[in-house]
């Protein structure tokens, strides 16, 4: 097992990529600390993860043999993040891997000058600053132990632009930048920081993801049409499955990638090639 005995923290773990990642880590022998806001956010036009969904992810992980700690925590709240990290360190002795997965795709769907101050701030606060807060809380102990892996789930929106998604694109580009800067900060202490950039991921029923549907809604196009557009835009002519992204995260979390830091691993079916 590639993550045997490792303690892994995943944010946004109630569903979607977070759930798929947690499950993949559990299958590789990791123990898990699962964070999710488990509440809706004013300003986000779609429902976020729920306590029931987080408990379900936890149950699936336990079935795979993992010890699981759950925490309802909003990554916009530094104290909440710190508390969850402290509990995880008490329970598991340490955190070996942190996966910054939590993020929102909307409010979006309008030109940049139509975004209001609150919408802009919300997007940056969750998608960029949330990742920074987790790194801030886990990085010190990882550095002290001279081992650790941080994986930031960015997006192809961290590499190219998308029309009418300025906030999201800006935040995800910044996540890529944060990844590179943090990687340099921690390189002397052997703590690695990498980013994964998924393309368009299927809203899988088991994972209960809904990002693709919400992006389609923000763009005011039918989901099947949006899917078709992206299948055509990704040279391998398929949507990405949540497990494909989880596999990349597991690789970057594991010691197999011990010389890889500051890298950006795309899981986009070739979307960003051209």
258 part of the interface to another protein, by CB under 8 A: no
**Measuring CA to CA, how many Å separate 66 from each of 32, 57, 274?**
7, 11, 40
> Which range, of 88-96, 202-210, 221-229, 234-242, touches another protein by CB under 8 A?
88-96
Decide if residue 5 touches another protein (CB under 8 A).
yes
Q: In this chain, which of 91, 140, 146, 228 binds another protein, going by CB under 8 A?
A: 91
Q: Which is nearer to another protein, 31 or 36 (CB)?
A: 31
Q: Which CB, 5 or 222, lies closer to another protein?
A: 5
168 is catalytic: yes
Return the range that interacts with another protein (CB under 8 A); candidates 84-92, 111-119, 198-206, 236-244.
84-92
Q: Does 146 bind another protein (CB under 8 A)?
A: no
By the rule CB under 8 A, 96 interacts with another protein: no
Considering only 9, 26, 31, 168, the residue that binds another protein (CB under 8 A) is: 31
Least CB distance to another protein at residue 68 (A): 8
Site string for another protein, 37-66 (x = CB under 8 A): ----------------------x--xx-x-
Task: Determine, following the binding rule CB under 8 A, whether residue 90 of this chain makes contact with another protein.
Answer: yes
Q: Tell me the DSSP string of the chain.
A: -TTTT-EEEESSTTSHHHHHHHHHHHHTT-EEEEEE--S--TT-SS----HHHHHHHHHHHHHTT--EEEEE--TT-HHHHHHHHHHHHHHHS---EEEE------S--S-GGG--HHHHHHHIIIIIIHHHHHHHHHHHHHHHHT-EEEEEE--GGGTS--TT-HHHHHHHHHHHHHHHHHHHHHGGGTEEEEEEEE-SBP--TTTT--HHHHHHHHHT--HHHHHHHHHHHSTT-SPBPHHHHHHHHHHHHSGGGTT--S-EEEESTTGGG-
Cross-strand partners of 152: 100, 195
Catalytic residue from among 46, 162, 168, 186: 168
Q: Which is nearer to another protein, 30 or 44 (CB)?
A: 30
The binder of another protein chosen from 16, 88, 92, 261 (CB under 8 A): 92
Residues annotated catalytic, as ranges: 168
Q: Which residues bind another protein (CB under 8 A)?
A: 5, 31, 59, 62-63, 65, 67-69, 90-93
């Amino acid at each position: 097992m590639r993550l045997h005995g490792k303690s892994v923290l995943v944010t946004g773990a109630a569903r979607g990529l977070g759930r798929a990642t947690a499950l993949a880590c559990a299958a590789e022998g990791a123990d898990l600390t699962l964070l999710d806001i488990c509440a809706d956010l004013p300003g986000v036009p779609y429902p976020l993860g729920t306590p029931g969904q987080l408990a379900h992810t936890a149950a699936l992980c336990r079935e795979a043999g993992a010890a699981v700690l759950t925490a309802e925590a909003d990554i916009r709240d530094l104290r909440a993040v710190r508390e969850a990290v402290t509990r995880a360190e008490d329970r598991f002795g340490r955190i070996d891997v942190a996966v910054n997965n939590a993020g929102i795709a909307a409010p979006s769907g309008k030109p940049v000058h139509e975004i209001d101050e609150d919408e802009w701030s919300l997007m940056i606060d969750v998608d960029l600053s949330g990742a920074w807060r987790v790194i801030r809380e886990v990085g010190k102990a990882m550095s002290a132990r001279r081992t650790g892996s941080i994986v930031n789930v960015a997006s192809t929106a961290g590499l190219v632009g998308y029309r009418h998604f300025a906030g999201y694109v800006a935040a995800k580009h910044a996540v890529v930048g944060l990844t590179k800067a943090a990687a340099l900060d921690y390189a002397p202490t052997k703590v690695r920081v990498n980013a994964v950039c998924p393309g368009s991921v299927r809203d899988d029923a088991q994972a209960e993801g809904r990002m693709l549907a919400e992006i389609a809604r923000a763009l005011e196009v039918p989901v099947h049409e949006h899917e078709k557009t992206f299948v055509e835009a990704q040279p391998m002519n398929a949507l990405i499955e949540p497990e494909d992204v989880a596999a990349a995260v597991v690789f970057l979390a594991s010691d197999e990638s011990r010389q890889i830091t500051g890298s950006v691993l795309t899981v986009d079916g070739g979307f960003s090639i051209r």
